[in-house]
């Protein structure tokens, strides 16, 4: 049936979705190798993005959806008067640009926090591809839906939590995502500055710094610049689910 897909041309081995180490996290999830081959044909792989580069800007017309292949991105929204809010940090295997499907314009900007590579799914291919791969439609629904759930979680964090809880939740979230990607869940490099962490969490950079110091003094984590080690993960979890202000 799909035997022609069992042999992948050597020269594509390194880039094809079907051979990508992220295929279980990224767009191809749940596709047959037949379907994945179709996907491979429409996706432009391994486009490099330099640190600091803007992949797309809020307001730009939607050209493509982007999957992070390597590296780290942040997405930001900006209010009329210029206030910026970081809405997410994005790791390999995560899709960016879903918020643009509504108006065919990006609602946020994506900026590389380090040298990155992205895979590109042209918007024009989206409708035809959805027709030929019904599972993809469904998968995109799921991804968008998960994005909504994620955002709602952040709303809870911003609306209800104190500084220490926010930072603990942030670290645990990073830890969990690192481990999903096969990295250590206990120690990792932060790719973003204190200011960016603070912006994301609705705090000032000084508060982030102070809270890191406090967590370290409590023996819960160990911080050295951008290197973080989660010493007592359970204690971190206890921080977010203990609620002193609750009756």
| Segment contacting DNA by CB under 7 A, of 31-39, 85-93, 121-129, 188-196 | 188-196
Q: Which is nearer to DNA, 66 or 212 (CB)?
A: 212
- Percent of the chain that is helix, strand, coil (3-state, to 5): 45, 20, 35
Who contacts 129 (Cβ-Cβ below 8 Å, separation ≥6)?
Answer: 38, 39, 42, 136
Q: Give the residue ranges of DSSP H helices in the chain.
A: 33-42, 126-132, 134-160, 163-180, 194-201, 205-217, 233-241
Cβ 146 to a copy of itself shortest distance, Å: 4
Binding partner of residue 101 among DNA, a copy of itself, none, CB cut-off 5 to 8 Å per kind: a copy of itself
| Segment contacting a copy of itself by CB under 8 A, of 3-11, 127-135, 209-217, 222-230 | 127-135
Binding partner of residue 99 among DNA, a copy of itself, none, CB cut-off 5 to 8 Å per kind: a copy of itself
Using CB under 7 A as the binding rule, whether residue 82 contacts DNA is answered as no
**Interface positions, 148-187, toward DNA (CB under 7 A):** 162-164
Contact by Cβ (8 Å): 208, 197: yes
State which of residues 16, 17, 36, 100 lies at the interface with a copy of itself (CB under 8 A): 100
Using CB under 8 A as the binding rule, whether residue 123 contacts a copy of itself is answered as no
Binding partner of residue 9 among a copy of itself, DNA, none, CB cut-off 5 to 8 Å per kind: none
Contact by Cβ (8 Å): 121, 64: yes
C-alpha–C-alpha distance, residues 214 and 105, integer Å: 42
């Amino acid at each position: 049936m799909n035997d022609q897909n069992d042999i992948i041309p050597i020269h594509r081995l390194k880039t094809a979705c079907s051979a990508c180490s992220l295929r279980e996290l990224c767009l191809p999830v749940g596709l047959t190798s037949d379907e994945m081959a179709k996907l491979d044909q429409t996706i432009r792989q391994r486009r490099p993005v330099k640190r600091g580069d803007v992949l797309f800007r809020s307001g730009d017309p939607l050209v493509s959806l982007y999957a992070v292949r390597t590296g780290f991105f942040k997405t930001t929204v900006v209010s009329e008067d210029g206030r910026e809010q970081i809405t997410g940090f994005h790791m390999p295997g995560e899709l960016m640009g879903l918020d643009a499907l509504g108006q065919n314009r990006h609602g946020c900007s994506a900026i590389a926090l380090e040298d990155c590579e992205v895979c590109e799914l042209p918007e024009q291919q989206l409708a035809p591809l959805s027709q030929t791969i019904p599972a993809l439609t469904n998968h995109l629904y799921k991804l968008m839906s998960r994005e909504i759930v994620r955002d709602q979680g952040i709303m809870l964090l911003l609306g209800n939590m104190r500084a220490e809880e926010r930072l603990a939740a942030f670290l645990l979230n990073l830890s969990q995502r690192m481990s999903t990607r096969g990295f250590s869940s206990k120690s990792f490099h932060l790719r973003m500055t204190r200011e960016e962490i603070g912006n994301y969490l609705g705090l000032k950079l000084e508060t982030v710094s102070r809270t890191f110091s406090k967590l370290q003094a409590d023996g819960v984590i160990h911080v050295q610049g951008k290197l973080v080690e989660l010493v007592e993960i359970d204690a971190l979890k206890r921080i977010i689910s203990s609620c002193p202000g609750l009756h």
